[in-house]
Structure 1
């Protein structure tokens, strides 16, 4: 199970478990669900849409049956200046690929080192995506839709980086 041990959540709930469900819903993909940790009417509607197509009882509640049907809702890594590795390289490649058609600068070479060029590229991407421009790639930045491809930054980088 990709979402083991998760409690039942419903409208009115908040917190880390709601974030996990929202990330999972966006990965179905349902880009209308915000990743904000608040199980409000939009999240409930997203849960119902998912349940209608996936088979669980359509009640807007994320219980065992819905958790089992959802994809991994674990967070992507938090990336910032000083981060290193393959996930940074994959991020850089996604930013490079979109820089020509987007409105952000290229990070330069995809070298797996989150330095100044990558930070500037991330800030430009964040401005383009309408999220806080802090140069840190967290939930809100991973969830930015790539308009022309019906995907998000996290799906472009690869969900194999999502944490269990």
Structure 2
């Protein structure tokens, strides 16, 4: 199960569990879902839509059956200068392949090391996406839709890196 032991959440709830629901819904993919930790009317509507499509009772409440049907809602890793590994290599590949869209700034060699050039490429990407430009890849940056059909930065980099 990709979301084991999660508590039931519904409209009016807030916090990390709601963020998990929102990330899972974005991965269905429903790119209109905002990952903000607030289970408001928009999240409720997305849950109902998902439940209808999954053949579940469309009550807008995320209980055990809905959790079991949703993809993993765990966060992607937080990436910043000094981070290294395969997820950084994959990020560098996506940033390199799309660099012409966000100003031609590339991360340099695809070496799995998040250094100053990777930070510059992330900042260029964030500026292109009209989100906070801080050079850190967190929830907001992972959630940026790409121009590919139903793709976000996190899905392009690879959901195998989700930290469950």
**How high is the TM-score relative to the length of structure 2?**
0.97
**Partner in structure 2 of residue 36 of structure 1:** 36
- Alignment partner of 2:44: what SS? helix
**Partner in structure 2 of residue 93 of structure 1:** 93
Whole-Å Cα distance in 2 between the matches of residues 104 and 52 of structure 1?
A: 42
1:105 deviates by: 1.1
**Partner in structure 1 of residue 106 of structure 2:** 106
**Partner in structure 2 of residue 119 of structure 1:** 119
Structure 1: where are the runs of 5+ without partners?
none
Q: What is the aligned-residue RMSD (CA, Å)?
A: 1.0
Q: Note if contact 1:104-1:128 (Cα within 8 Å) is conserved in structure 2.
A: no
**Partner in structure 1 of residue 67 of structure 2:** 67
Structure 2: where are the runs of 5+ without partners?
none
Deviations 1:66-86 (A, max 9, x none): 000000000000000000111
Whole-Å Cα distance in 2 between the matches of residues 59 and 104 of structure 1?
A: 46
Q: Note if contact 2:102-2:124 (Cα within 8 Å) is conserved in structure 1.
A: no
> How many correspondences in the alignment?
164
Q: Note if contact 1:94-1:157 (Cα within 8 Å) is conserved in structure 2.
A: yes
